[in-house]
Amino acid sequence: MLTMEDEARFRVKRTIVDGIRVIYMKGSYHQSMGIARRVLSFISFMVKSTFLALRVKNVDLVISTSTPLTVGFPALILKKFKGIPFIFEVRDLWPEVPIQMGGLKGKPMIRLVEWFEKAIYRNAVHIVALSPGMLEGVARRGIPVDKISMIPNMAKLEVFGHVEKNAALPDTFGLNSNSFKAVYFGSMGLANGMEYIIDAANLLKDHEDIEFVFLGNGAMRPMLKERCRAEGIHNAFFLGFQASRELSQIVSFCDISLVTFSNIPILATNSPQKLFDSLSAGKPVLVNSPGWTKELVETHQCGAFVDPEVPAALAEKILYLKAHPAVCREMGRNARKLAETRYDKTILCSQFGDLVDHLSSQLLSNKSERN
């Protein structure tokens, strides 16, 4: 059991979520942190969570979900010292993401982290990848495909679906009620291709009936705002972080959603939550990653792919959708249908639950055979 001293030291909070006892441990982390501070934050959480995990009693199975990769360390320790099996969920292909982005350098460090990655994969009883690209990335590490399942992020229909438009909302944020609005919501970091969107906004800055709405925070936000000011891009609005209810209302008032990343190969494997939130909201999605998201929006006709190296391609697609409202509406209907029929949380939670039940039964059977 955790002592009162342990809980106070690590800022532990206990609560119940859907009938499940949850122990939270607060850690310092935000998008504006530099690489060094992020690494220290990851290591701090890794050490503290391992200390707490070793003191939790009656554990039969651990589910560890990245990122970062260090989240797998407590699970690995419990496996090694207590023989407790674990499922590892891959939400990003670490360390390949920081390596390709230049955040992780030096051959000794890279080799160490890659060894750690393989150790987690090899010791996990099963691996859940959030995209086809992530599944392939794990398999390339020598992990048998039958040990990996692909279960993507979930659509939040209860948050973004069927939200009634608030007619007073544009005035609240200084927006034009009659404009064609492209929304970007989520983190604004180096990986998110934000300059690409601003380049497109610059090309469309003389179109007063087109507006770009940005929701969220991150390291790039101050620089992007300053660039808009300096270049006279008056149709870009940075509304900051918004709680779920307000966020869903603002997204509902927009016409299309932008899901962009920097043109780095590993980022094409991402499974961005904002994509599934956009589908839930019934918004056409413009993506610039030439990976599985391109195939998704094109196959299901719920958006379009735009060249990540050509901002004019994004500007042209926005102009096209504005000029063809029927096409835009049809894409939106297709997006909502996809969220409801494939990515609804009841569907994917059931898949994950079935996987856990199946693995648990196998583990119990193996244990009884050994005894």
Q: Taking Cα atoms as reference points, which of 277, 222, 223, 285 lies closest to residue 256?
A: 285
pLDDT in tens, 172-201: 899 999 999 999 999 998 899 999 999 999
pLDDT score for 370: 67
Show Cβ contacts of residue 153 under 8 Å, excluding neighbours closer than 6 positions: 130, 271, 272, 273, 275, 276, 343
Domain 157-341 has CATH 3.40.50.150: no
pLDDT in tens, 197-242: 999 999 999 999 999 999 999 889 999 999 999 999 999 999 999 9
What does the block give as tokens for 35?
């690489």
pLDDT grade, residue 371 (50/70/90)? low
Q: Which amino acid is at 20?
A: I
Q: Is the pLDDT of residue 261 over 90?
A: yes
Query: Is 180 within 8 Å of 250 (Cβ atoms)?
Result: no
Can you state the angle between helices 273-280 and 325-341, rounded to 10 degrees?
110
Q: Range with the lowest mean pLDDT among 37-41, 150-154, 159-163?
A: 37-41
With 0.75 as the threshold, say if the pTM is over it. Answer: yes
pLDDT score for 39: 75
pLDDT score for 49: 87
What does the domain layout of the chain look like in residue ranges? Answer: 1-45, 157-341
Maximum Cα–Cα distance across the chain: 75
Q: Which amino acid is at 347?
A: I
pLDDT score for 180: 97
pLDDT score for 35: 66
pLDDT in tens, 35-94: 677 778 888 888 888 988 888 888 889 999 987 888 999 999 999 999 999 999 999 898
Q: Please, what is the average pLDDT of the chain? A: 91
Q: Taking Cα atoms as reference points, which of 52, 41, 58, 96 lies closest to residue 77?
A: 52
pLDDT score for 232: 97
Per-residue exposure over 133-161, b if at least 16 CB sit within 10 Å of its own CB, e if not: bbbbbbbeeebeeeebbbbbbbbbbeebb
CA angle at 51 for the pair 48 and 54, rounded to the nearest 5°: 145
pLDDT score for 61: 92
